[in-house]
Amino acid sequence: MSAPARLVTQCPDDILSQCAALMARQGYHGTSMRDLARTTGRSLSGLYHHFSSKEDLLYLINERGFSSLLGNAERLREEWRSRARAKPATAADAAALLRDLISAHVDYFSRHRSEMRVLMLGTQPMSPAHGEVVRRLKQRYSEVLSYAVSEYLAGHAPGTPRAEVERKAWLLFGMMNWIFGWYSVDELGSPRDLAGDIFGIFTQGCLAGSRAAATSE
């Protein structure tokens, strides 16, 4: 423990994202360790110096991605809660929280598209222990979003049933996640426009309530 300090190595951050980029295109099982070694400019056994196994690599990508996403979301929620303690929150405040969460999500996705695509393609091939950690992160993240949705609905459409709140939160998730699964971000305009559209459609759509669905018949 002396002069030059440890900044490189230790945790192979760039290697991880290079691997994620390849896995995003070919899938976990469709990408071999030899493929990953080649694109990271290392040898096969050199790659194993950084990760204990292929599954471990997948876990690290998942853990890192969801942790960042969750960190952003929980920070926004805490800021909102401390503001709410200072002075009572208005309905507009809840809308602002929801809008910030959507923006943060879309921004993060657009800046880490490969990693996010890996996260979306499923958790199946992970060990029970790793899978549990990732599942927990996923759930905590969706709980923050559900919380914001229910706070928003409490202010703008009070009395919405719990089941409907959750269903709508999931639909919001759908809008936020799907686009990056199929399409390129280049064809969709800026993340800012996209987040604005999602926020606009969701909030205005929720205001109309569920009874508005009966148009014909």
Partner DNA sequence: GTACCGACCGAACGATCGTTCGGTCGGTAG
Partner DNA sequence: CTACCGACCGAACGATCGTTCGGTCGGTAC
Report 144-203 residues binding a copy of itself (CB under 8 A). 163-164, 167-168, 170-171, 173-179, 181-183, 188-189, 193-194, 196-203
Tally DSSP H helices, then E strands, for the chain: 9, 0
Encoded tokens for 124: 């199946």
Cα angle, residue 112 at apex, residues 194 and 142 outer, rounded to 5°:
70
- Is 77 a binder of DNA (CB under 7 A)? no
Q: Amino acid identity of 24?
A: A
* The one among 43, 52, 139, 210 contacting a copy of itself by CB under 8 A: 210
Tokens 């490969």 belong to 114
Question: From CA 150, how far away is CA 164, in angstroms rounded?
Answer: 10
Encoded tokens for 102: 């959507």
From the list DNA, a copy of itself, none, pick the one residue 121 interacts with, judged by a Cβ distance below 5 to 8 Å according to partner type: a copy of itself
Instruction: Give the count of residues interacting with a copy of itself (CB under 8 A).
Output: 55
Between 45 and 215, whose beta carbon lies closer to DNA?
45
Nearest in space to 16 (alpha carbons), one of 135, 47, 185, 121: 47
Q: How far is CA 212 from CA 41, 77, 206, 209, in A?
A: 57, 31, 10, 6
Between 101 and 176, whose beta carbon lies closer to a copy of itself?
176
From the list a copy of itself, DNA, none, pick the one residue 114 interacts with, judged by a Cβ distance below 5 to 8 Å according to partner type: none
Contact stretch for DNA (CB under 7 A) within 38-46, 65-73, 91-99, 162-170: 38-46
Q: Which residues bind a copy of itself (CB under 8 A)?
A: 25-30, 92, 95-96, 99, 120-122, 124-125, 163-164, 167-168, 170-171, 173-179, 181-183, 188-189, 193-194, 196-210, 212-216
